[in-house]
Structure 1
């Protein structure tokens, strides 16, 4: 059933055409993810769909009786509001408290937020969750969410996905539809069934008109979108090659001497000029460059019987770590997950050496050179008045990348800054631009240990992919705190968890194991958890679970760094052998099909067919053996 439609809609940003000739429809049961680079017009599109944004021309239609709820990136709560009033405006408690679906939303998002608390006293993350709860509890068929995963931890994102899947499954008017702007790729892949990509407009210059932004439509989840987009890019490259060949021929024809040019037909000259004029400048592709890395020795950072706590105005001190021993190995890649307030950022500051422990010691290797990417990009405050080029030049005037020496201005261009943006003051940059500049300044200092605190903040999906490619090739030790499950599972080899009880726990089962642990805690179940700490069994009265901790640290209960490297090499070798074996099976299948067509009339082909059958059976057995060996090696890792 059709719910909302746009016909030839134009949207402006000041005097600039942001989007033009946008025609689309939203049907019941649709779950749409909106993607695009920062500033492309995603939020503008969402506001137009919700009816809160203005359109310069075109038509917006809404089926009668359809209600729409909108979550903006900025809430409009008044400070004197209570949480209950902000969520259930104008309603008495008895009107909503008896609804189990509303109670479920309160439990999932507001477990730590009292309903009688004033909005003015809430943290930024709590206000965001209150705004999200207000949108989810609204009696609406269409839900428009702008960056709903901001300020949600891994557990919160998982809850939101399950809630929205249940709410918008199926079809029919009562099921409604979802449109969500987000850069969380795991969220998109788990929830959305369609992707709308907002492609930004291009300023052509030289008196030529601007090419406005447009929307490209893809069916399927985020993974399907990535594959379809890659195929479109391949086809566009082929078309561009054909066009360049035609342009080259036209230009060569025009340059065959001035005397002959007067006799050339004017339409051929006009066609060539059209080809030249129609070439838009390439987009400012973001390229994150691999810098040199300082040598890293055997010792990195060791936490030895470390305890850390902070005094509270009332009651007992808040314990972040309680006698924790943790040893980071060279080239180790670890992700940290945990509940909000458990101390993930504090743990990074402890590893960095800027925060001393309450007890125990933090031992840092002599060759260690640490660089930290903070959440708030506060490292750029000191260079806020400098231009982008000057901020890069402050770290190094020139750097060598891939055997080529790049100046500061060349580097900023490679980072995706146009010549005009390269001379913009740092304080005037967007959040995504600040993030790119911050990361590259860190890498230019040649660190061998990277500590990343929510590195995905403010980055669009293309820049995230570029950053992940860069981190894949980083040879040093990597520690990542992030609620972006896609990033954690892509760039780290294993994860650890902070659950708020002072212990640091290994997660052999990854993020999914952490979510299962949290769900079990919420249900008050008894959960046995394997930990890094040296404590014996302890009771967690808040969650009602009983936690069993190992007698030894993770260093003594898992593979050593040297053993892990050998096992990893063995697993990589098996993976390469498995890939070759699978390719051999595919070739045998193709050969079988070819020979089968001849076997009816040729005795020689029949003999060849029998031999191919024996070869295929042997190849399949080899694949099975390699698969079992690879699984065993992966299990040990």
Structure 2
């Protein structure tokens, strides 16, 4: 069943065509993501399909009996209303009943209350109201009576998303739905999308989200749409195949073009004496071979300043706003090549910590001692402060006209901008003509050209396209300094960080060894072991409130994690004997392993070598299991 059809869409701004004669269709049950580079026209295409922006040419049509919900990248909300009033401003019968009930309740109208309560009962709107509050809570909006005028940009986006989800339309059109959501909210949204029988069309750069939610990917590239039936991983595979075919065809066309060019230059020069069909074919071939391969990857190998042995010492930091405690005696000593991710719900103090570390905010107590060679590069999520009426290249040249690469070579500002996917024409555009993602890319470039050795990135993935993210990740993997990242992009964090600071509320921060996925798996295993409560032997690995730097040990065999009661557990006589026996057994296993290793190193026939290798594998497994149990019992000795 066809829900949406777009035929021969064309849209241009000035002399630039975003797309021309583009045709697109959406059927019931499709969950489609539009991907592409910043500035390629994804948001414009989505707005045209949603009916908020007209195309220059072409037609968009919808099935008559369906409802459509649209989340804009910059939602327009009525500042005069409260959060609940905005959310209830839909057209469904249930929402109308809830509005009437809330109005009667506010005015203490007994007759109207009886009537509206009957309507609520008839339409099953009581459950609907509870669902509204649940969705708002999952998206981090707790105060439903808060005026919209007091909300931040991120909060407004979340309220707008909640309003669209609550309306439960047949067709959901979302522009960057995961922006400004914390990690738990994104995972909830994933589950919600997968549990709903909705048709979905969205723009997103969240690769895990695309992989888990979408069944089709549509790429907008050079004004053309390329469709892929599958999730994001399938799209990557098939796109690589398509690009290989295009590259091979381009090479073939160029070889043919060289031969045809020689023929065109031969006598007689008068074109009329040559075969016209061959001349036309030559002109077509000339246009095809003039296309450039898209090989302009970001090559972010800028030189960094030398980093000394002393990086930064954080001692007993505390900070609160009113009664809300954000940091409670947080202590940590940063080391060379630290790669740390920061996770936690919105409003728990992640950005506050970054601002204190960079001395943009003072703590209530505690201190930060920074080494003399540390040079911060701080990429913030705050509103962009770029000169709108200045050309892109002038903005970069104001910082540095020539930059040094790690290899010792130098590049000009224009060359560096090209590496950042700003072609020569785009470099001379005014900043106000850039898309949101292009402005973010420019902001990132301005941070990196200052040669920092301690990078602090606060939500760097917002509005960046996937191509930019991939190459940024490659650069950061080889970054020779310290790295501190706040991001809701789980894929980005998983690739780059080695341990995470988890903001748990009330000022507590846990230092967990591993990336985000490691932490989620550990927390899930802990919750299962404790009957739904995330505690256990690793639960006290909290950096805040300790008075000293606590670096957690690697976590192993999470399934055996036990719940630590509020009071220290006393071991039974049997457990004490088990603890003493384990020490002897582990020592014996280690000795046996050493013997087998010696036998393996001296050689033997094939069957012996296979048996010894298998025994070593089994010994390693036993040693690991018994060591985990010994460590668990040792906590209570």
Structure-1-length-normalised TM-score: 0.75
Residue 304 of structure 1 corresponds to: 315
Summarize the Cα distance change of 1:329–1:406 in structure 2 as closer, same or farther, 3 Å threshold. same
Residue 205 of structure 1 corresponds to: none
Contact between 2:348 and 2:503, CA under 8 Å: does it hold in 1?
yes
Residue 136 of structure 1 corresponds to: 165
Q: Deviations over 1:146-185 (max 9, x none)?
A: 1111211111111111111111xxxxxxx33111111112
2:96 aligned counterpart, secondary structure = coil
Residue 62 of structure 1 corresponds to: 62
Which residue, 191, 194, 208 being the options, matches 1:186? Answer: 208
1:216 aligned counterpart, secondary structure = strand
Which residue, 99, 107, 119 being the options, matches 2:137? Answer: 107
Summarize the Cα distance change of 1:166–1:351 in structure 2 as closer, same or farther, 3 Å threshold. same
- Pair 1:322 & 2:334 matched: no
Q: Deviations over 1:401-423 (max 9, x none)?
A: 34543222232233222323222
Residue 357 of structure 2 corresponds to: 351
2:357 aligned counterpart, secondary structure = helix
Contact between 1:147 and 1:182, CA under 8 Å: does it hold in 2?
yes
Q: Deviations over 1:560-598 (max 9, x none)?
A: xxxxxxxxxxxxxxxxxxxxxxxxxxxxxxxxxxxxxxx
Residue 203 of structure 1 corresponds to: none
- Pair 1:123 & 2:128 matched: no
Which residue, 341, 358, 363 being the options, matches 1:335? Answer: 341
1:421 aligned counterpart, secondary structure = helix
Contact between 1:341 and 1:500, CA under 8 Å: does it hold in 2?
no
Contact between 2:508 and 2:542, CA under 8 Å: does it hold in 1?
yes
Shift of residue 22, structure 1, vs aligned partner: 3.0
- CA–CA distance in structure 1, aligned partners of residues 270 and 433 of structure 2: 54
Shift of residue 486, structure 1, vs aligned partner: 1.4
Which residue, 364, 375, 378 being the options, matches 1:369? Answer: 375
Q: Deviations over 1:303-327 (max 9, x none)?
A: 12222234x3xxx3x3221111112
1:554 aligned counterpart, secondary structure = coil
- Pair 1:455 & 2:460 matched: yes
- CA–CA distance in structure 2, aligned partners of residues 466 and 287 of structure 1: 6
Residue 71 of structure 2 corresponds to: 71
Contact between 1:284 and 1:418, CA under 8 Å: does it hold in 2?
no
Residue 194 of structure 2 corresponds to: 165
Shift of residue 329, structure 1, vs aligned partner: 1.4
- CA–CA distance in structure 2, aligned partners of residues 515 and 125 of structure 1: 28
- CA–CA distance in structure 2, aligned partners of residues 622 and 32 of structure 1: 48
Contact between 2:376 and 2:454, CA under 8 Å: does it hold in 1?
yes
Shift of residue 269, structure 1, vs aligned partner: 5.1
- CA–CA distance in structure 2, aligned partners of residues 32 and 156 of structure 1: 21
RMSD of aligned residue pairs (Cα, Å): 3.7
Residue 402 of structure 2 corresponds to: 398
Residue 37 of structure 2 corresponds to: 37
Residue 504 of structure 1 corresponds to: 509
Q: Deviations over 1:544-564 (max 9, x none)?
A: xxxxxx785324x448xxxxx
In structure 1, the gaps of 5 or more residues are: 168-174, 201-212, 536-549, 560-613
Contact between 1:377 and 1:435, CA under 8 Å: does it hold in 2?
no
Q: Deviations over 1:422-469 (max 9, x none)?
A: 223445533322222222232222221111111112211111112112
2:219 aligned counterpart, secondary structure = strand
Q: Deviations over 1:42-83 (max 9, x none)?
A: 233333433444345545443342211111123333222222
Residue 469 of structure 1 corresponds to: 474
- CA–CA distance in structure 2, aligned partners of residues 26 and 216 of structure 1: 14
Contact between 2:327 and 2:544, CA under 8 Å: does it hold in 1?
no
Residue 535 of structure 2 corresponds to: 527
Residue 608 of structure 1 corresponds to: none
Q: Deviations over 1:491-517 (max 9, x none)?
A: 222222112311211234643535986
Contact between 1:69 and 1:138, CA under 8 Å: does it hold in 2?
yes
Q: Which aligned pairs between 1:243-254 and structure 2 lie closer than 5 A?
A: 243-254=253-264
1:74 aligned counterpart, secondary structure = coil
Q: Deviations over 1:333-369 (max 9, x none)?
A: 1110111111111211222233333322212223222
1:126 aligned counterpart, secondary structure = helix
In structure 2, the gaps of 5 or more residues are: 90-94, 102-119, 555-605, 629-637
Contact between 1:331 and 1:475, CA under 8 Å: does it hold in 2?
yes
Residue 568 of structure 1 corresponds to: none
Residue 181 of structure 2 corresponds to: 152
Q: Which moved more, 1:243-252 or 1:403-412?
A: 403-412
- CA–CA distance in structure 2, aligned partners of residues 532 and 498 of structure 1: 10
Contact between 2:141 and 2:155, CA under 8 Å: does it hold in 1?
no
- CA–CA distance in structure 1, aligned partners of residues 59 and 612 of structure 2: 59
Summarize the Cα distance change of 1:43–1:410 in structure 2 as closer, same or farther, 3 Å threshold. closer
1:287 aligned counterpart, secondary structure = coil
Residue 26 of structure 2 corresponds to: 26
How many pairs are equivalent? 536
Q: Deviations over 1:204-242 (max 9, x none)?
A: xxxxxxxxx221101221121112111111111111111
Contact between 1:306 and 1:357, CA under 8 Å: does it hold in 2?
yes
Shift of residue 190, structure 1, vs aligned partner: 1.7
